[in-house]
């Protein structure tokens, strides 16, 4: 008889109490529901709309600055020194406030050459300039 009494004493529980697991699952769910919107919205941005510009650029409003890899500058295909070119752009900007400067630099040119042109434009009050590139070929 002693055997039967030992057997009932060693019987393991076949049921698992899932209440603590459900509590943990609900807590994690609440944490994720609260933190997910905060992670997605870190900075408030108003992105510009794509498409065409508000008004078409007139070809007479565009001046093209070219910078060679050897450090030479050209304004509308006329070779000139940087101070002379900046003075010419400033004079044209005083006569035409809609002036836009396209900056085309050789891919092997030094960055400081481009920065000098941008700095000259900004000092002259020209705020509309564009760095031009070749389009990426479609594959």
What is the per-residue DSSP string for the chain?
-HHHHHHHHSPPP-----HHHHHHHHHHHHHHHHHHHHHH-SS---PPP-SS-SSPPPGGGEEEEEE-TTS-EEETTEEE-HHHHHHHHHHHHHH-TT-EEEEEE-TTS-HHHHHHHHHHHHHTT---EEE--PPPPP-
Confidence of residue 28 (pLDDT cuts 50, 70, 90): very high
Please give the Cα distance from 78 to 59 (Å, whole number): 17
Mean pLDDT of the chain, nearest integer: 79
Considering only residues 138 and 124, tell me which one the structure prediction assigns the higher pLDDT: 124
Q: Are 73 and 31 in contact (CB under 8 A)?
A: no
Domains along the chain with CATH numbers: 59-131 (3.30.420.270)
Could you report the per-residue pLDDT of 81-136, keeping only the tens digit for each? 999 999 999 999 999 888 999 888 887 888 888 899 999 999 989 888 888 877 66
Question: Would strands 100-105 and 129-131 be described as parallel, antiparallel, or unpaired?
Answer: parallel
Quote the pTM value.
0.57
């Amino acid at each position: 008889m002693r055997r039967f009494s030992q057997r009932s004493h060693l019987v393991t529980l076949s049921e698992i109490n899932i209440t603590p697991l459900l509590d943990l699952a609900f807590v994690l769910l609440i944490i994720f529901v609260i933190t997910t919107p905060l992670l997605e919205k870190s900075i408030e941005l108003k992105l510009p709309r794509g498409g065409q510009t508000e008004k078409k650029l007139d070809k007479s409003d565009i001046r093209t600055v070219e910078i060679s890899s050897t450090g030479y500058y050209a304004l509308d295909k006329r070779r000139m020194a940087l101070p002379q070119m900046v003075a010419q752009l400033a004079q044209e900007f005083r006569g035409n406030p809609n002036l836009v400067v396209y900056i085309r630099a050789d891919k092997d040119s030094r960055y400081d050459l481009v920065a000098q042109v941008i700095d000259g434009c900004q000092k002259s009050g020209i705020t509309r300039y564009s760095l031009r590139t070749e389009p990426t070929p479609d594959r």
